Amino acid sequence: MKNLLLLILILSTYSLVKAQPACCIKATDDFAALGNIKAFRMEHKAPLPFVYLSANGKDINYKLQDGTTAHAFEIKAEKETPYYVLVIHEWWGLNDFVKQESEKISDELGVNVLALDLYDNKIATTPDDAVKYMQSLNNERAINIVKGAYSYIGNTAKVFTLGWCFGGGWSLQTALMGGSQVKGCVMYYGMPEQDVNKLKTLQCDVIGFFAKKDQRITPEVVHEFEQNMDAAGKKVMVYEYDAQHAFANPSNPVFDKAARDDAYAKEIAFLKARMK
């Protein structure tokens, strides 16, 4: 009887573990855990005052399968197009920097952009608040927001994903969730997915921009990501800059214009090459 009970316990535990990936993403959890490290928080200088008034974008709400709604910032292309860029914000939240970048990309490529709000209308202006919002994020809620975005834009949309920092990791997770709809993934200094089996399900190329002086998403982490992508049979293009984490954000005190301009040019070329 004891052996039977032990077997039932093992099988139950195994079933629970198998069920966890639907709401548990180790890569994003690992990044959130970095918020407990003082040195990591200090890498994120409080953003400089930055206000952006959009010409074409608007805040919207869309419905999720669980009956709730999610917030996003949407820019519709001037001419009808099936292309969408799903943008995921930094750990600060969906602030004016993200809205500016979203509109810039829409204007440059003539695509629709939907900037997702994984924080549900909360925006941090200090590292302490950013840590609080990031660590209080429920992965199941975030996954529902992403899935809801795919439902909102429809299954005929051709999708790119893009994100920075916290959003860099979520850009890759969003691409993994999108399957064959996704045509390319752009990630800036975000935590890579480490599970090779999960990476095998990716159906697009990835371009990643990283900082050599990053104390957490280090060159070693980036190199391991390259190896994992190779093992998964997937293509990733990695560019590393002699800069600090968050170098691409003009409202960040460590902004590196030369690195940002080079990365942005490569980002746009990557997206254009995958628009048929």
CATH number at residue 215: 3.40.50.1820
Query: What's the chain look like in SS3?
Result: CHHHHHHHHHHHHHHHHHHHHHCCCHHHHHHHHHHHCHHHHHHCCCCCCCCCCCCCCEEEEEECCCCCEEEEEEECCCCCCCEEEEEECCCCCCCHHHHHHHHHHHHHHCCEEEEECCCCCCCCCCHHHHHHHHHHCCHHHHHHHHHHHHHHHCCCCEEEEEEECHHHHHHHHHHHHHHHHEEEEEEECCCCCCCHHHHCCCCCCEEEEEECCCCCCCHHHHHHHHHHHHHCCCCEEEEEECCCCCCCCCCCCCCCHHHHHHHHHHHHHHHHHCCC
- Please state the rounded mean pLDDT for residues 246-275: 96
User: What pLDDT score does 32 carry?
Assistant: 83
> Which domain, by its residues, includes 41?
24-273
- Please give the tally of structural domains in the chain: 1
pLDDT, tens digit (0-9, with 9 covering 90-100), for 90-120: 999 999 999 999 999 999 999 999 999 999 9
Asked if residue 188 is part of any domain, the answer here is yes
- Measured CA to CA, the distance from residue 76 to residue 99 in angstroms comes to 13
Q: What is the pTM of this model?
A: 0.89
Asked if residue 19 is part of any domain, the answer here is no
pLDDT greater than 80 at residue 3: no
Asked if residue 7 is part of any domain, the answer here is no
Asked if residue 123 is part of any domain, the answer here is yes
Asked if residue 15 is part of any domain, the answer here is no
- Model confidence at 22, pLDDT cuts 50, 70, 90, reads very low
Amino acid at position 29, single letter = D
User: What pLDDT score does 104 carry?
Assistant: 96
Amino acid at position 215, single letter = Q
- Measured CA to CA, the distance from residue 23 to residue 17 in angstroms comes to 11
- Model confidence at 24, pLDDT cuts 50, 70, 90, reads low
Asked if residue 98 is part of any domain, the answer here is yes
User: What pLDDT score does 34 carry?
Assistant: 78
User: What pLDDT score does 194 carry?
Assistant: 95
pLDDT greater than 80 at residue 274: yes
User: What pLDDT score does 12 carry?
Assistant: 40
Asked if residue 1 is part of any domain, the answer here is no
- Model confidence at 144, pLDDT cuts 50, 70, 90, reads very high
User: What pLDDT score does 23 carry?
Assistant: 56
Asked if residue 178 is part of any domain, the answer here is yes
